[in-house]
Amino acid sequence: MKKREFIKKASLLSASVLGVSSLGFSENKSVNNPVIGKEVNPTAPMNLVIGSDHAGFPLKAPLMKILKSMNYNVKDVGSFNPEPVDFPDIALLLAAEIKSGRAERGIMVCGTGVGAAIACNKIHGIRATLSHDTYSAHQCVEHDNVNVLCMGAQIIGISIAEEVMRNFINAKFSTEEQFRRRVEKLNQFDQVAPDK
């Protein structure tokens, strides 16, 4: 088998295992996968909130510009300049927008995305993911009903960040019972009293 034919067959096999056609469309309709990189319904934009610390600041402005060009309503909770700021403080502001209902989902950017994800996941009612790839960016919403996407400005550039962000925003929580049941169990964790 020639190298080109082998690569083509391997690519098709990988796509079928992942449930994606060679054109980039999901074939698993039950979890309502998005078309990669395309808005599902740009005429009915959701309210979003975005935040960053100083390390994430250089990536936040271009992401905001993209979101506004997609007609989303976006609230920026800071930081507003490259001066040092603590990411937990921004995470609290971002989470407050989601918990109040003023925003449906949030995007948090720090240096690696790790600190942002830790901070957001400490907050009652917030489920945050660290995603630097398109698959986990939509799968986390479809299976786990994640409401905050965290990314690292020192890890990925604007092109990949844009695709990750689009997949996160366009994804919908699955109506399948097993995913709803598991997320309800996660919700019950918020009710558990901390150890003394």
- Active-site residue list: 110
Phi, psi of 94, rounded to the nearest 5 degrees: -65, -45
52 pairs with which residues across the strands? 109
Q: Which two tokens stand for residue 193?
A: 């009293």
**If we measure between CA atoms, which residue out of 46, 47, 69, 27 comes closest to residue 162?**
69
- Measured CA to CA, the distance from residue 70 to residue 38 in angstroms comes to 10
Phi, psi of 93, rounded to the nearest 5 degrees: -65, -45
H or E segment to which residue 10 belongs: helix 3-18
